[in-house]
Structure 1
Amino acid sequence: MTAIGRVTQLTVRNSTLGNLQANLHKMSQLQTQMSSGVKINRASDDPSGTADVLKIQGDQKLLAQYDRNAADGEAWLVTVDSALTTSLANLRKVRDLTVQGGNGALGSTSREALAQEISGLKDALLAQANTSYLGRPVFAGTVAAPAFGAGDDPAGAYDYKGVDGATVTRTVASGTTVRVDSDGAAVFGTGDESVFALLDGIVATLRAGGDPSDQLDAVDDRLDAMTTELSSVGARQNQVDSAQSLIAENTITAKTRLGAIQDVDLAQIILDLQSQEVAYQGALGAAAKVLQPTLLEFLR
Structure 2
Amino acid sequence: MINRVTHQTVQRSTLANLQQNLGTMAKLQAQMSSGKKINAPSDDPAATADLLRLRGEQRAETQYARNAEDATSWLATIDGALTSSAATLRRVRDLVVQGGDGALGPVSREALAAEIEGLRDGLLEQANTTFLGRNVFAGTSDAPASFGPGYTFTGATTDAPVVRQLSGNTTVRVDSDGAAVFGTGAGSVFQLLDDIVTSLRGTGDVPSHLTALDARMDTVLMELSSVGARQNRVSSAQEALADAQLTTKTQLGAIEDIDLAGVILELQMQEVAYQGALGAAGKVLQPTLMEFLR
- Pair in the same fold by TM > 0.5: yes
Identity %: 62
Secondary structure of 1:256's match? helix
Partner of 2:278: 284
Secondary structure of 2:281's match? helix
Read off the aligned partner of 2:140 and give its amino acid letter: T
Partner of 1:248: 242
The equivalences for 1:156-175 within 5 A come to: 157-163=150-156, 164-175=158-169
Read off the aligned partner of 1:47 and give its amino acid letter: P
TM-score, normalised to structure 1, is 0.94
The equivalences for 1:215-226 within 5 A come to: 215-226=209-220
Q: Work out the CA distance in 1 between the residues paired with 2:244 and 2:160.
A: 32
Residues 104, 211 of structure 1: 8 Å contact kept: no
Partner of 1:62: 60
Secondary structure of 1:123's match? helix
For residue 214 of structure 1, the aligned residue among 202, 208, 217 is 208
Read off the aligned partner of 1:245 and give its amino acid letter: E
Partner of 1:193: 187
Which 4+ residue blocks in structure 1 deviate beyond 2 angstroms? none
TM-score, normalised to structure 2, is 0.96
Shift of 1:296: 8.1
**In angstroms, what is the RMSD of aligned CA positions?**
1.3
Cα-to-partner distance string for 1:245-269 (whole Å, 9 max, x where unaligned): 1111111111111111111111101
Cα-to-partner distance string for 1:61-96 (whole Å, 9 max, x where unaligned): 111101110001100000000000000000011011
The equivalences for 1:39-118 within 5 A come to: 39-118=37-116
Shift of 1:210: 2.1
For residue 238 of structure 1, the aligned residue among 199, 214, 232 is 232
Q: Work out the CA distance in 2 between the residues paired with 1:248 and 1:110.
A: 58
Q: Work out the CA distance in 2 between the residues paired with 1:57 and 1:294.
A: 58
Partner of 2:176: 182
Residues 171, 178 of structure 1: 8 Å contact kept: yes
Q: Work out the CA distance in 2 between the residues paired with 1:271 and 1:105.
A: 96
The equivalences for 1:10-25 within 5 A come to: 10-25=8-23
Q: Work out the CA distance in 2 between the residues paired with 1:165 and 1:201.
A: 31
1:28 correspondence with 2:26: yes
Residues 108, 209 of structure 1: 8 Å contact kept: no
Shift of 1:297: 10
Q: Note the residue ranges of structure 2 that are not aligned, 5 or more in a row.
A: none
